[in-house]
A and B are shown apart, each in its own frame.
Chain A
Amino acid sequence: MEQETKVSQTNEKKSFDFKKFISKMGPLVALIILVILVTALSPGFIQPSNLLNLLRQVSINAVIAFGMTFVILTGGIDLSVGSILALTGAVTASMLVSGMSAGLALLVGLLMGGILGFLNGVLIAYGKAAPFIATLATMTIFRGATYVFTNGNPITGTKMNNSFLFQFMGRGYLLGIPVPIFIMAIVYLILYLLLHKTTFGRKTYALGGNEQAAYIAGVKTKIVTMWIYTISGLMAALAGIILTSRLSSAQPDAGTSYEMDAIAAVVLGGTSLAGGKGRIFGTLIGALIIGTLNNGMNLLGISSFYQQIVKGIVILIAVLIDRRSSND
């Protein structure tokens, strides 16, 4: 029998596929254009000190958004991240204030974030609650718990502010670079590997693409789902620790509407809210776009009222372009 192999190799002449290029590289191109634009309008933007500042501002949103990427890839959403950030930040702060060693306090804080996320996962995977509803409920519950725990007052104290390790997380420098940037980079690296280089990542995509088919192919869909929300909770807690350290206090209303910035970063990065499609690199770029917009508009002295409008419009444009390039 003649072997009629139709799987051709990739060395065929490759015509330039504009749509593919846009859907893959679009966010990066947008970021570069934005950077050029902001630099032209306000040359101070490109100064190393400002860039480091920008990256540090971005790091909190980026860390949350990295976790959110997994959630959105499964077709879910996690609205509770802002509240988890506040609650774990408050608990960590109070432990530090009461004199617990920083290492232990941070560990407990992170663990707690993981557990709260795990709770979301159980509700969604086993309770079969819609992610939007489940995390909307826990968002309210966790926020309420934060107010109960803090009595509505910020938590701060000398013991906390004297702890080197804790201070280091949000305010420290290493080789002249703010520590939160390192944290962001390390988290990115780990989650990048997890998403793109492990079986867990493949299963995440499969789950988001077609849950039933993934299940029949042997993916433990419920367990994967639970882990994903756990990761999201863990990232929110890490962001909470950075923020609390930055501010030297835990605010009961910290992290309010952070979920929106995280979702925006994920979507700007080209990840589909329907699940199954997207990359964590995109989320990094998305977070940088939002950061550059904030930073640039501050430099230009644009009032924060207008900033919100501009941010919203940018998200709309991004989504519209994305729809164009992914359809047909």
Chain B
Amino acid sequence: MKIEMKNITKAFGTNKVLEGVNFTVQSGEVHALMGENGAGKSTLMNILTGLYGDDGGEILVDGQTTHFSGPLDAERHGISFIHQEMNNFLEMSVVDNMFLNKEIKNKFGLMNENKMREQAKFYLSKLGAKIDVDKPIGSLSVGRQQMIEIAKSLMTNAKIIIMDEPTAALTENEIAQLFEIVRGLKKQGVGFIYISHRMEEIFEIADKVTVMRDGISINEYQTKDVSMKQLVKDMVGREIGDFYPDRNPKFGKVSLEVQHLSEDGVFQDVSFKVQEGEILAFSGLMGAGRTEIMRSIFGIDPHNEGKILIDGQEVHIHSPQEAIKHQIGFLTENRKDEGLILNDSLTDNIVLPSINGFVKHGLVDDKAINEFTNMLLKRLSVKAQSADVTASSLSGGNQQKVVLAKWVGSGSRVLILDEPTRGVDVGAKREIYDLMNELTDRHVAIIMISSDLPEVLGMSDKIAVVYEGKITGIVDTKSATQESVMTLATGGVKDGTRN
């Protein structure tokens, strides 16, 4: 099977998103699609699978002009799309999610549950995944859900599988496993369109790569013939230099100190401090409990033991409002569910934690709010038509910047960033790093949870490693290596690093 997209154009209202994109993929190859946040990658795929109509151009399938009426139609023709944000029904079981809209029925029109269960197991085992198909899908890790998504594609006999940032939330192991599966399927003649912001992955898995910028496809390469530098240049339109800016931190007094924080069955005896101007990274495997620790500090979830001190004073935080009052900010890892109000404007989203500071004579001061949000949007170079568009209309990476803008704007002195660059392109990553530096220069203390080891090593001053709810070590970043951090993250304790 061969899909050719020729000169595709698309505008949302007055916002021209695609202005002539060419892209080709065929059976048995992995073709990567790269580009900055908002370049139009997801939009292009939505056009291919018929979710959006195009304004111009042509789609050829095996040489025939084709137009899919929607995702289901595309699926029937062997094209399956695994979305950037998975849309599972978390309370429903794995089987029920897999067979949603494709239920197998017996002759009375009732669902044949045994058969569905059998098939679900069959396709999952093909991927080497042992998953209890009767469990609610929400109880499984994102990596597992991804696996299920692929099994679903196999079930529909997909000949081309589109993966939109599949690894954004996967652990190293899960990524290795995913690539194993992709290689296997490739041998069986399945073609892949692979969208990712992670360079290493492109070179590991893709045969070809196409770069998009500002709505046009810039270049197509054989992966083996191109350098990382060239790809970055094509994407951003200029050289960006190093991935990570230099850090010249000046530490002040201890901003936040946590002593012996515990919550039964979640995390135990967590102690650490972070100083003004410092970036303390939290590393560890997914599910190690890093997010849970931070949620507890921020007052979303409880803890049954331990102390939290701010500027040396013990504080009792029982809710996010209290945390915000103590000038703590929290960028959650899940922007769709916890970070953004998707149907609200960028302005309303950004101003929310600071709204009480914009009252004049009892009424909100819209003029000041607009200035404030426009300044932040500019500062973070958010790609949006205006501050009045809804958050839902932004690309994934730009949504992330909006969440960041909201906490930067709230004047936090301790900023907890949970996976701050997830789904963010190289150029924007660099901007976020620069911003982190700027914040620490202004004496903000930053706690950064990140599953991206190079990022942890590149951007932090100290690294706290969490394994199964416990801190197995706090190390100085200068003396840390990928290996030493991984050892701690998998439970091995290195001599002399224990704090």
Q: Which residue of B lies closest to A276 (CB)?
A: B343
Question: B387 — which chain A residues lie within 8 A by C-beta?
Answer: 7
A210, B341: Cβ atoms closer than 8 Å: yes
Find A216's partner among B320, B351, B358 (CB 8 Å cutoff).
B320
- A220 CA to B355 CA in the complex, in Å? 12
Is B386 a contact partner of A218 (Cβ separation < 8 A)? no
Size of chain B's interface in residues, with CB distance under 8 A?
44
Does B1 lie at the interface of the complex (its beta carbon under 8 Å from any beta carbon of A)? no
**B384–A7 CB distance below 8 A:** yes
Chain A residues with CB under 8 Å of B188's CB are none
Flag whether A10 is at the interface (Cβ < 8 A): yes
A7/B353 in contact, CB under 8 A: no
Contacts of B206 in A (CB 8 A): none
**Are A220 and B386 in contact, CB atoms less than 8 angstroms apart?**
no
Contact call B351/A202, Cβ cutoff below 8 A: yes
Using CB atoms, name the residue of chain A closest to B406.
Answer: A217
Given the complex of chains A and B, what is the CA–CA distance between A203 and B238 in angstroms?
42
CB neighbours (8 Å) of A8 from chain B are: 385-386
B157 within 8 A of A: no
Q: Closest approach, in angstroms, between the C-beta of A296 and any C-beta of chain B?
A: 35
Partner of A5, one of B342, B362, B381: B381
Bound CA–CA A201/B351 (angstroms) = 13
Distance from A323 Cβ to chain B, minimum over Cβ atoms (Å): 15
Is B90 positioned at the interface, with any CB of A under 8 Å from its CB? no
Query: Are A199 and B13 neighbours in the complex by a CB distance under 8 Å?
Result: no
B363 at the interface (CB under 8 A from A): yes
Contact residue among B337, B342, B382 (Cβ-Cβ distance under 8 Å from A6): B382
* Min C-beta distance of B419 to chain A, whole Å: 15
A199 B344 Cβ-Cβ under 8 A: no
Bound-complex Cα distance A2 to B236 (A): 12
Contacts of A201 in B (CB 8 A): 364
Does chain B have a CB within 8 A of A277?
yes
Question: Is B332 interfacial (CB 8 A cutoff)?
Answer: yes
In the complex, the answer to whether B352 meets A197 with C-beta atoms within 8 Å is no
Task: Name the residue on B nearest A6 (C-beta).
Answer: B383
Complex Cα spacing A260 to B353, Å:
35
Which chain B residues lie closer than 8 Å to A3 at the CB level? 381
Whether a CB of chain A sits under 8 angstroms from the CB of B111 is no
Report A1-54 residues with CB < 8 Å from chain B CB: 2-10, 12-15, 17
A303-B300 Cα distance, complex, nearest whole Å: 57
Interface residues in A, total, Cβ within 8 A: 36
Please determine whether A213 and B338 come into contact, CB atoms closer than 8 angstroms. yes
Q: Given contacts A205-B348, A218-B320, are A5 and B378 in contact (CB under 8 A)?
A: yes
CB distance from A19 to the nearest CB of B (A): 9
Answer whether residue B340 sits at the interface, using C-beta atoms and an 8 A cutoff.
Answer: yes
Contact assessment for B344 and A276 in the assembled complex, using a CB-CB cutoff below 8 Å: yes
Contact among A13, A198, A216 with B330 in the assembled complex (CB-CB below 8 Å): A216
Task: Let me know if A215 is at the binding interface, CB within 8 A.
Answer: yes
Return chain A residues, CB-CB under 8 Å to B34.
none
Residue in B closest to A277 when the chains form the complex, CB atoms? B343
CB of A87 closer than 8 Å to a CB of B? no
A273 on the interface (CB 8 Å rule)? no
- The answer to whether B384 touches A6 (Cβ under 8 A) is yes
A18 to chain B, nearest CB (A): 11
Contact between A199 and B355, CB atoms less than 8 A apart:
yes
Q: Which residues of A have CB within 8 Å of B362?
A: 198
Chain B residues lying within 8 Å of A9, measured Cβ to Cβ, are 386
Contacts of B324 in A (CB 8 A): 217-218
- Is A144 located at the chain interface by the 8 A CB criterion? no
A113 to chain B, nearest CB (A): 24
A212 within 8 A of B: yes
Write the nearest CB–CB distance from B252 to chain A, whole angstroms.
Answer: 25
Contacts of B374 in A (CB 8 A): 7
Q: A210-B342, A212-B338 are in contact. Are A217 and B13 (CB under 8 A)?
A: no
Inter-chain CA distance A17–B382, complex, in Å, is 24
What residues of B have a CB within 8 angstroms of the CB of A116 in the complex? none
Q: Does A141 contact B (CB under 8 A)?
A: no
Bound complex: CA of A10 vs CA of B15, how far in Å? 12
Question: When chains A and B are docked, how far (Å) is the Cα of A206 from the Cα of B337?
Answer: 13
B332-360, CB < 8 A from A: 332, 337-344, 348, 351-353, 355-356, 358-359
Q: Which of A168-202 contact B (CB under 8 A)?
A: 193, 197-199, 201-202
Which residue of chain B is the closest to A274 with respect to CB atoms? B343
Chain A residues in 8 Å Cβ range of B383: 6
Question: Nearest-CB distance from A190 to chain B (Å)?
Answer: 12
Residues of B with C-beta under 8 A to A198: 359, 362-364
Check A219 against B13 for contact (C-beta < 8 Å): no
Task: Indicate whether B211 reaches chain A with its CB closer than 8 angstroms.
Answer: no
Contact A218 to B321, CB < 8 A, known contacts A14-B14, A206-B352: yes
A154, CB-defined interface residue at 8 Å: no
User: Which A residues, 274 to 298, have Cβ-Cβ distances below 8 Å to chain B?
Assistant: 276-277
Whether a CB of chain A sits under 8 angstroms from the CB of B377 is yes
Which of the listed residues A2, A197, A201, A217 has the most CB atoms from chain B within 10 Å of its own CB? Answer: A217
Min Cβ gap B17→A in Å is 13
Q: With A5-B378, A198-B363, A276-B343 given, is the CB distance from A212 to B337 under 8 Å?
A: yes
The reply to whether B381 and A202 contact each other, CB–CB distance below 8 Å, is no
> In the complex, what residues of A have CB within 8 A of residue B321's CB?
218-220
Are B341 and A202 neighbours in the complex by a CB distance under 8 Å? no
Return chain B residues, CB-CB under 8 Å to A4. 381
A–B pairs, 6, beta carbons within 8 Å: A14-B14, A198-B363, A201-B364, A205-B341, A217-B324, A276-B344
A residues at B contact (CB < 8 Å)? 2-10, 12-15, 17, 193, 197-199, 201-203, 205-206, 209-210, 212-220, 276-277
The 5 closest A-B pairs by CB, nearest first: A209-B341, A6-B383, A218-B324, A217-B352, A197-B363
